[in-house]
A = this chain, B = another copy of it.
Amino acid sequence: MASPRDDAPVESARHESPLGAARRRKTHLKVPEKSHRTAASKTAAARETMNEPTSIKVCCLGFGTVARGFLDVLRSKEEELERDFGLHVLISGVGTRHGSFVEPKGLRAGELQARVGDAGLPAPARSPHDLLAAAQADILVEATVMEHEAGAPQATAHIETAFSLGMDVITVNKGPVAWNFTRLNDLALAEGRRWRFEGTVADGMPVFSLLERALPGCKLLGFDAVFNSTTNFVLEEMAAGRSFADAVREAQAQGFAEADPSHDIDGWDAAAKAAALANVAMNAQITPADISRVSAREITREQILGARERGARLRIVSSCRLRDQADAARLPVLSRTRSDGRMPLWGRVASNDPTRASEGAGGLGNATRPASVDGSPVPIDVRQGVVELPLDHPLAHIATTSLGV
C-alpha cells in the first residue's frame, strides 16, 4: 500500500499531473516544451498564462449517437478545457437530413442540449453548405454515418465544403479516410486546413496520435486487428447458443447494430477501418474495395463451438503487412481490451533480443524503416480472415477484467 506524503503542502498535492501542466503551457505559451511542470510551479504559470480563453465554434453534421456523445463529453470537460487549455468550445450549428439548428454566436454544449431536447433537430433541414456558412464555425465535426455507397461521396463533400469555407475538420466518419484520404489530405494542405480523424478507427483508442506523436521515430510495419464489434458480439452470442439471426437481432436491440447490419456483418466496416489506417499510417493509397472481405454469415455455429472446445475463439481479423516485412518479428505496442476495437499495432519498437528488450532501449525506438529510399513502391497486403485465436492471444480478449491486488 502506498503512503502518499502527508507533509506535502496542499497546493502541491493538488492532483494535476505534470503532463497536464506541460500540455497547458504548450497550448498557452507556444514555447518549446522543456520538461514537466510540477504542482509547485503551476500556480504561477497559471496566473501568467490565464488570459481570456479562446472561443472555438463547432458545427456538427450528423446528430446521432456519436454527436450526442460528443456533446456529453464537451459538457463534462468544459471546466477542464478552460482551465488546462484556455478553450471555450461552443456549438454554432447542428444539422441532419431532417432538421437543423443554427446559433452563430455559439452555445455551450449543455445549453444546446437544453434547447434541442430529446425531440431532435427542428425543421427545416438545410444543405450542408448553407448550414456551414450560416453557423460561422471554426471546425466541422463530421459525424454522419458511413455511407453504403462506394467512395463516401456525401461525407467527402461535407469535408471539401468545410475546407472551402476556411474550416478545420474532425471526421468521425471513416468513409472519407478510407476512400479519399489522399485527395482530402492534399486539399487540406492546399487550403492550409487541419484535418483530424482519431475517432474513425478503434473507437477511443488513440491509434493515429500514438504513431504520429508518441512514436515519431518509428514506422508501422503492419497491424492485426479485430475491428468490428457487431461481428464479435454475434460470434460470442452464437457460442452461447443463439442462432446467427437471433444474435444479429440482439445486437440491434442493444443498439449497436444498424437496421441494415450488412456493413458490419459482411466486413465492409472492418475493410474501411483497415484502409483508413493503412492509408494514413503506411501511405498505402488503397480503398476498402481493395481488401478481400469475410462475412460472418459464412461462419457456422459448429465452427465456433469446435474452436471453443479447443479453448480458442474465432475472430475475423484484418491483417496488414508491408510485403517485404511479412516475416518480421513483431512487438505489439497497443491493444485495447474490450469486446470491440482490438488492435495490436506492431513494429520493432525495441530490440528483438529479449535480453535487450528487458533492459529497454532508451528513449529511441528501434523500428526499422522498411521503405526503399530510391522511390520505388513498397506494396502492402491487407486482408480479412477467420482466425482461431488461443485465449492468451492479444486479439482474443472478450472483456475488461479488473484486478484487486
Q: Are A2 and B382 in contact (CB under 8 A)?
A: yes
8 additional contacts (CB under 8 A) given A40-B182, A384-B405, A393-B397: A1-B292, A2-B292, A38-B182, A66-B361, A199-B360, A200-B360, A210-B210, A256-B359
Q: Which residues of B contact A105 (CB under 8 A)?
A: none
Q: What separation, in Å, do the CA atoms of A206 and B210 have in the docked complex?
A: 8
Q: Which residues of B contact A69 (CB under 8 A)?
A: 351, 356, 359, 361-362, 366
Which of B19, B212, B278, B405 is the one whose CB lies under 8 Å from A23? B212
Q: Which residues of B contact A244 (CB under 8 A)?
A: none
Q: What separation, in Å, do the CA atoms of A72 and B396 have in the docked complex?
A: 35
Of A341, A346, A401, the most chain B CB neighbours within 10 A belong to A401
Q: Which residues of B contact A17 (CB under 8 A)?
A: 211, 219-220, 280-283
What are 27 A-B contacts with C-beta separation under 8 Å? A2-B291, A2-B383, A13-B376, A14-B371, A14-B372, A17-B220, A17-B283, A19-B281, A20-B219, A22-B212, A34-B195, A35-B194, A38-B189, A70-B361, A73-B361, A143-B362, A197-B363, A203-B360, A205-B349, A206-B210, A206-B215, A230-B358, A331-B337, A332-B337, A334-B334, A337-B394, A391-B391
Q: Are A38 and B185 in contact (CB under 8 A)?
A: yes
Each complex incorporates copies of this chain amounting to 2
Q: Are B362 and A280 in contact (CB under 8 A)?
A: no
Q: Does A4 contact B (CB under 8 A)?
A: yes
Which of A74-82, A234-242, A298-306 is found at the contact surface with chain B? A74-82
Q: What separation, in Å, do the CA atoms of A350 and B400 have in the docked complex?
A: 14
A192-236: CB near B (< 8 Å → 1, else 0) gives 111111111001111011111111110110001000011000000
Which residues of chain A from 317 to 352 have a CB within 8 Å of any chain B CB? 317-320, 322, 329-341, 344, 346, 349-351
Q: What separation, in Å, do the CA atoms of A48 and B373 have in the docked complex?
A: 19
Q: Are A357 and B340 in contact (CB under 8 A)?
A: yes
Nearest 7 pairs of A and B residues by beta carbon: A204-B350, A385-B405, A13-B377, A209-B214, A15-B371, A15-B378, A35-B188
Q: What separation, in Å, do the CA atoms of A24 and B212 have in the docked complex?
A: 11
Q: Which residues of B contact A215 (CB under 8 A)?
A: 206, 209
Which residues of chain A from 64 to 112 have a CB within 8 Å of any chain B CB? 64-67, 69-70, 72-74, 76-77, 79-81, 83
Closest residue on chain B to residue A351 by CB atoms = B69
Known interface pairs A213-B213, A337-B344. Does A396 touch B385 (Cβ–Cβ under 8 Å)? no
Q: Which residues of B contact A368 (CB under 8 A)?
A: 76
Q: What separation, in Å, do the CA atoms of A41 and B186 have in the docked complex?
A: 7
Q: What separation, in Å, do the CA atoms of A61 and B72 have in the docked complex?
A: 50
Closest residue on chain B to residue A401 by CB atoms = B393
Q: Which residues of B contact A199 (CB under 8 A)?
A: 360-363
Q: Does A12 contact B (CB under 8 A)?
A: yes
Q: Write the nearest CB–CB distance from A219 to chain B, whole angstroms.
A: 7
Q: Write the nearest CB–CB distance from A73 to chain B, whole angstroms.
A: 5
Q: Which residues of B contact A148 (CB under 8 A)?
A: none
Which of B20, B210, B375 is the one whose CB lies under 8 Å from A14? B375
Q: Which residues of B contact A16 (CB under 8 A)?
A: 283, 371
Q: Which residues of B contact A246 (CB under 8 A)?
A: none
Q: Does A170 contact B (CB under 8 A)?
A: yes
Which of B12, B371, B405 is the one whose CB lies under 8 Å from A317? B405
Q: What separation, in Å, do the CA atoms of A334 and B341 have in the docked complex?
A: 12
Q: Does A131 contact B (CB under 8 A)?
A: no
Q: Does A254 contact B (CB under 8 A)?
A: yes
Known interface pairs A69-B356, A210-B210, A381-B1. Does A185 touch B286 (Cβ–Cβ under 8 Å)? no
Q: Which residues of B contact A192 (CB under 8 A)?
A: 34
Q: Which residues of B contact A1 (CB under 8 A)?
A: 291-292, 381-383
Known interface pairs A35-B193, A292-B1, A381-B1. Does A10 touch B376 (Cβ–Cβ under 8 Å)? yes
Of A209, A381, A383, the most chain B CB neighbours within 10 A belong to A209
